[in-house]
Structure 1
Amino acid sequence: MLSLIFLTTVASLVTAVHVPTRTFPPTFCHGQDCPRYTVVSSTADYEERLYEPAKWTSASVTGTYSAAVSAGFGKLFQYISGNNKDQAKIPMTVPVLTKIQPGQDFIVSFFVPYADQASPPEPSDPDVFTNPLPQMTAYVRHFSGYAGDADWVANANALAKSLDNATISYHRDFYYTAGYNSPFQPVDRHNEVWFIKSD
């Protein structure tokens, strides 16, 4: 009888400390559509994620990082507000993803909502295009607060250093920034930098 009580107590303690598996979507998507991924592994410095193939709507823009993201966001916001061949209103998604590749234009992207993934409305602006991204493994570092240009660079450098120390192969010629919050949200902000695994 005592052993049964002991086993029952142990079982309840194990249940109490069990850490549940993260469900999708993560809380930092705030109920909006965001790209599906599986966490492959996690360290104190970064998370390794396997992203499913998905379509994004993108704009190619020039200028400094902040100016380019602002301009790209404006073009994409007009697209989801009806500046497309169907004149369709498209829900906002997260993150705002920006590809940074030295010497080339910035590519700012909105994730295409799941309802439109099969056939996104065709953009009317010649600078806006549907951008299918393949399945990919991303190494992701996150940080909080309002992110300025220097914050993105510092976190990208820190992530690169962590990956180099772990002798991980990744594309060094570009990386992504991912912002998940409206500029009017002062707290609980979530920002990410991504490097993509190379073969």
Structure 2
Amino acid sequence: MIVEMGHRVSKMLSLFILTTVVGLVAASPARTWPPTFCHGQDCPRYSVVTSTADYEERLYEPAKWTSVTISGSEYSSAVSEGFRKLFQYISGANEEQAKIPMTVPVLNKVTPRQGSSMDVTVSFFVPYADQTSPPEPSDPDVFTNTLPQMTAFVRHFSGFARDNDWTENVAALAKSLDNATISYHKDFYYTAGYDGPFTPTNRHNEVMFIKSD
């Protein structure tokens, strides 16, 4: 009798432990890093602060980027020229003549000027292995750019993005933030593309504003 009761208690204890473990696993947040839209490439780390139907609030860790600033009147032309210079850098146009892995996203800081002119700073994320000391660029126009920890409000959309797609989504994000009475830097914004030109579907594009104090 005592032995049988001991077996029952043991089974109940085992069931309790198993149920508790399963419950803890189910309650644990799902691993979401890296995001699927990074396609297994190095990309900047962030945590999601809040998420709404219109945008996601992210806290980005400080990180180094390789950048070049292009001035002009057409967004797509500026991004293309900046991309070409940065691709030359990762292809060996640096002091170590090193081949540097491609990362995502191609990040573009857009600062509108008078009329239709704008400055576009095109940036590649520095791979984690090189974050401490990236190779120096050979092109004097290319530079290492450290972005501090920052809070960004991000809106994403799919498809092959054209100039008007970027501007429409920037305007939609600004409207959402204004309606929510959120303070953000209005004199510039960022665009981010995560896919190469030969990716036909499931493309991921982002626009973002940076939170101000």
1:152 aligns with 2:142: no
Equivalent position of 2:40 in the other structure? 31
Distance in 1 between residues matched to 2:191 and 2:49, nearest whole Å: 20
Which stretch shifts more, 64-73 or 20-29?
20-29
Q: Indicate the RMSD between aligned Cα atoms, in angstroms.
A: 2.0
Equivalent position of 1:138 in the other structure? 152
Give the alignment of 1:1-199 within 5 angstroms: 20-63=29-72, 64-103=74-113, 104-199=118-213
Could you tell me which amino acid in structure 1 is paired with residue 32 of structure 2?
T
Distance in 2 between residues matched to 1:173 and 1:127, nearest whole Å: 23
Offset at 1:23? 1.8
What is the CA deviation profile of residues 171-191 of structure 1, one whole-angstrom value per residue up to 9, with x for unaligned ones?
A: 000000000000110101000
What is the CA deviation profile of residues 14-34 of structure 1, one whole-angstrom value per residue up to 9, with x for unaligned ones?
A: 89x979434211000000000
Q: Normalising to structure 2: TM-score of the pair?
A: 0.84
What is the CA deviation profile of residues 148-190 of structure 1, one whole-angstrom value per residue up to 9, with x for unaligned ones?
A: 0000000000000000010000000000000000011010100
Instruction: Work out the percentage of aligned pairs sharing the same amino acid.
Output: 75
Distance in 1 between residues matched to 2:71 and 2:91, nearest whole Å: 23
Local SS of the residue matching 1:60: strand
Local SS of the residue matching 1:105: strand
Distance in 2 between residues matched to 1:131 and 1:19, nearest whole Å: 36
Could you tell me which amino acid in structure 1 is paired with residue 212 of structure 2?
S
Offset at 1:105? 2.0
Gap change, CA 1:19 and 1:181, over 3 Å in 2: farther
Offset at 1:62? 2.1
Q: Find the structure with the greater CA-based Rg.
A: 2
Local SS of the residue matching 1:66: helix
Local SS of the residue matching 2:112: coil
Offset at 1:65? 0.4
Could you tell me which amino acid in structure 2 is paired with residue 101 of structure 1?
T
Offset at 1:46? 0.3
Distance in 1 between residues matched to 2:80 and 2:198, nearest whole Å: 15
Q: Normalising to structure 1: TM-score of the pair?
A: 0.90
Local SS of the residue matching 1:101: strand
Unaligned runs of 5+ in 2: 1-11
